[in-house]
Structure 1
Amino acid sequence: MFKLLFNIGQQLRNPSLIKHLEFLKVSEKWSLKELEAYQLEKLKELVCVAKENSPYFKRLLNQKGIVKIESLDDLKKIPITSKKELLAFNKDIHTNLELNKFFTANTSGTSGEALKFKREERADSFNRASIFRGYSWYNVKPWYKNGYFWGFNFTSSEKIKTKVLDLFQHRFRMFSYKNNELDLFVTKLQKASYLHGYSSMIYRVAKYINEHQLPKPIHLKMVKGTSEKIMDSYQAEVQKAFGLKMINEYGAAETGIIAFECPFGNMHINMEGVIVEEIENEIIVTNLQMHSFPIIRYKLGDYIKLSKTTDCKCGMKHTIIEEITGRVGNIVYGKAHEYPSLYFYYVFKNLAKINKLYLNYQISQDKKGELNIAVEQCLTNVELNLLQNELEKYFKNDMECVILHSKNIQTNSKKHKSFISTI
């Protein structure tokens, strides 16, 4: 029944999805040379479409004297685009292509102003097919019963609409974090095949199961975190509660799926869908499939590190993102100097790597030279000293750090932010 419901909904919404999924299951066995040849073919097509149909890119490419693309290296001739340009020139970036079917896509707006754009059915279906290919690595079909964590702030009518959509996708979720809702969700998980959504919410439910010694779901094939960074400190609770580690799906509304973690723990780039560059530790993304709103050399706003090897036991040759380290652009203000918020990533990574101290944290700054560091775990004096010493390595005497431990840092319906500044 649920397979039939899902297929009916899919055929109505994304009629080209099956064709794309079949292609992706073939291309996942390609060599790196074959993948790059496909990328070049799609890049040529994208740039041609953008130049002929997007007023913004027509001006930009003509100004730079870019006539056509001959190699993947030619991509570097095109200037980098930021969220600022996507917002300021939104109308001109859109192409004048006649689309039989398109969707209005929105970014979350958690890192600034929300972006709205049109995405054609073909690109939307390719993106969904890319996700479903990742599911296939875990023997999961999208119509299997699944638990879902996402932000919610629903009116009664929106709740009804959401429940109808969830029915078509054999999906259940929580609408509050009251204990009775949590208990009901955990009960439903007993028959679920996969669990997905905000990583901080998955962690929260895992912790609830463990603390209350509730029956552990035994049929889960995949636990997938997305939209937030998966903290190393989450994995022990998740493994204990679900018998699986939390895997990573990485992407954005404007870029589509960028990478998906394989069963051997590597984040493989969705090379058929995107080209990823690493420039000064920042990710630059080109969406190869979307023509309605071209995304070419887009500065997404994350720090990453690409792996120097494509070797993986899974056999795929798709390039690998070694780590996603955090958001770009958040500035931390000392008494005399400024620092990137990336420093926090390394502070807590070092504690985990060197001292085996895994912490969940949220840092806030309301005044220059002062930081409030909330830590979920209860810390001993030794652990407090380790954290203080690590902070001093990066900020010296330029920062007063107040550490508050045994704190609840989870939010009910929003993305978890590791650093919040009001300055």
Structure 2
Amino acid sequence: MLPTPPDAPHGPGRRRAVASPRRKLILGGAAAALVLLAGGTLYACTGEDPPTRNTSAAAAPSTDPAAPPAGSAAPPPSASAGPSASAAASASPAAPPLRAGNPDGKADVPAEARAVDTSRPSRVIGDGTPSSCTSEAVVAAVAAGGIITFRCGPDPVTITMKATAKVRNDHGPQVVLDGGGRVTLSGGGQRRILYMNTCDAAQVHTTSHCQDQDSPQLTLQNITFADGTSVNEAKNDGETEGGGAVFVRGGRIKVVNARFTKNRCDTNGPDLGGAGLRVLSQYQNKPVYVVNSTFEGGACSNGAAISSIGVSWVILNSVMRNNSAIGRGQNPAQAGTPGGGSGGAIYMDGNLITLRIAGSIIEDNKCNEGGAAIFFVSNDRTGTMAIESSTLRRNPRGTFETAGLPGIFFLGARPPAVSGSTLSR
């Protein structure tokens, strides 16, 4: 087992579930629990959580070619992280801004989960030309903190990172990275793209309780993270393992109208994961919000879209597809194996953890062990799950899953609350 934060437990995973029959479930309300209980043997315990509705509230970037990217109204030159932020952008026709997530998702988005207003940015990367938007400018802006937007011209731009952008814990409390729907940050298949860790002394300790502090508060919106990898990252007692595109420990993070594509992390090992996003130790156990976002084509030992230990999630109007948990041996690792292979899209481990999925699609994910769509283990059986107005399909069974829940392995307080949703092979 890899070391984890003191308050973050490890989860089991070596038991085998009874194979569930090939069937399609369209469940709703209290009937869902009855169907699950009557429809077949559940693996150990299963769990449930309170529901809600949701409506996408991601800020829609402007399609006006003459306008700066959404939320990045032209600031004074002194606010720029790049040369001459007041320079005019090209007048060529603007490409369509990023549209991520499930366009048909109707789950209500609470105020705290919505995009941040970036009309008065702290700093702007670029002067209106693609060449002015560099890796160096991104690294400097993220280290400086505040509300960060881009002026790279009207067309989509990919910035290949030459170094990982790191959040400094004393340069907050808010760090917002808004790509205006036209910016892709790429790891080039060589490195992690973004890193935040309140317990990393190199990024400055700001409290005596780094594992439970309210800042920095990181928001990633209207942006794409592609081809990130943590395989080459130095290991720090297990804390930095996983998180191929983005690694976060401590503070808060939310993701709004973002795309994570073709990210990678370690191919083997128990309890590590998150090719797209790895999160540990959120302030006061508050959930990570993922809204109107897409995770696709990720590969990692576990949790090829998202992964966490001791962290709760709310996933609204989002899509997770074609992600693969490629490790082998489960967790704890079976004798003679390196461990891993669970949670093709989502991997969650801990005690009192919750997962709510609403208005979302989870499809075509794979795993070598358990939970092609979702692997959820609450060690003390207090954790709960709710799936509302969502579709889980074509997530093939690995070596084990919870009977009656195609693509899911679940250990928690009670059967998951499934309403208005389709779960099918």
Q: Structure 2 length as normaliser, TM-score?
A: 0.25
**Larger relative contact order (CA 8 Å, sep ≥ 6):** 2
Structure with bigger strand share is 2
Which entry has the higher C-alpha Rg, 1 or 2?
1
TM-score (norm 1): 0.26
